[in-house]
Structures are given as C-alpha cells and as structure tokens.
C-alpha cells in the first residue's frame, strides 16, 4: 500500500475532521468566525454536524457558569434559522434553567426532545425534585421515567427551594 489511509477518505470526511480539530482549540475571540466559516461549507449536513459537536461540548462545559447566556446568544446569532441547531441550543438553555433552578414550565420539559428528557433525567447537576418528579411521572419514554425515578431516590431528603425573585 503506497498511499496513506486518508487518500481513500471522502473530502467531506477530511473537512469534518479538520473542522472538529479547529473547533476543539478555537479561542473565544475566534469562535464566532470559525463557526460561521464551518456553516458556509457546501455540505450543509456535515457542517451542521460539526457545529453541533462543538455546541454540545461547549454547552456542557459552560452550562452552570455565568458566561453561558452570552455564549448562547453568540451561538444563536451564528446558527440562525437552522432548525436542529436552534432546538438543541434552546434545550441546553432549558437544561441550564432547570439545573440552576431558574424559571421553567412543565410544558417546556414535557414537549422537549427525547434527548433533552434523557439528559435532564440522567444529569447529575439536575437535582430539582419538581423537574425529576415531572419526568418520572410523565417522561416520554420508560428510560426517562426510570432515570428520573432513580435520581429522585438518590436524593430522598433533598428539599427543593426556589430562590426568591
């Protein structure tokens, strides 16, 4: 075999890998420009997949820190009207609200995607008895209901106190 393994890789796979490497090391100052560049790629599905990878990683890292709202606003501007990315960013923002005991509604939790419900039910930083009880009783899937029930059982004496607003 004379060529490298990459010789057989489709160009979009190589670009995807290159985008992921760049996004993994992008500075905050350059993040918006790099994301916009990725989203201009001719292969929209590949580009959105790379941006979603970045969105998931960064949202998880920043979920409970004060910079999250500023970052989420930047992301919303960059992703524009791309339906999947917009929904995922909205759901990370909802997850933050639940994790930090900020306002949320039953309807928001119950109409959120399966991904959101699974993540909220299984996430260690979501300890809200109100959210977990709702998901334990009305979660869309048995997996969500069971995970939320287990999370509630793990914190039986925890009182849920909403901050005064």
Q: Is the pLDDT of residue 160 over 80?
A: no
What is the Cα–Cα distance from 118 to 112, expressed in whole angstroms? Answer: 10
DSSP 80: T
| Residue 3 three-state SS | coil
Sign of CA dihedral 86, 90, 96, 98: negative
Report the chain's C-alpha Rg in angstroms. 19
Q: Is the pLDDT of residue 3 over 50?
A: no
Question: Over the stretch 24-47, which tens digit does the pLDDT of each residue have?
Answer: 999 999 999 999 999 999 999 999
pLDDT of residue 157: 53
**Residue 100: which of 116, 123, 122 has the closest Cα?**
123
What percentage of the chain reaches a pLDDT higher than 70?
Answer: 90
What is the Cα–Cα distance from 145 to 155, expressed in whole angstroms? Answer: 16
**Residue 31: which of 75, 79, 76, 96 has the closest Cα?**
75
Q: Is the pLDDT of residue 158 over 80?
A: no
Average pLDDT, the chain: 91
> Which segments of 26-128 does DSSP mark as H helices, in order?
28-39, 44-62, 68-79, 83-99, 106-111, 114-122
**Residue 129: which of 148, 110, 147 has the closest Cα?**
148
């Amino acid at each position: 075999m004379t060529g490298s393994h990459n010789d057989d890789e489709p160009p979009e796979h190589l670009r995807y890998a290159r985008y992921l490497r760049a996004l993994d090391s992008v500075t905050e100052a350059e993040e918006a420009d790099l994301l916009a560049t990725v989203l201009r790629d001719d292969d929209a599905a590949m580009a959105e997949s790379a941006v979603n990878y970045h969105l998931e990683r960064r949202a998880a890292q920043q979920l409970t820190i004060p910079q999250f709202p500023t970052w989420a606003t930047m992301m919303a501007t960059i992703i524009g009207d791309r339906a999947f990315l917009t929904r995922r960013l909205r759901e990370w923002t909802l997850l933050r609200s639940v994790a930090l005991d900020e306002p949320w509604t039953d309807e928001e939790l119950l109409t959120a995607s399966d991904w959101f419900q699974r993540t909220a039910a299984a996430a260690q930083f979501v300890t809200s008895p109100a959210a977990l009880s709702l998901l334990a009783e009305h979660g869309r899937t048995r997996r969500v209901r069971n995970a939320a029930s287990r999370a509630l059982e793990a914190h039986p004496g925890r009182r849920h106190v909403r901050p005064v607003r």
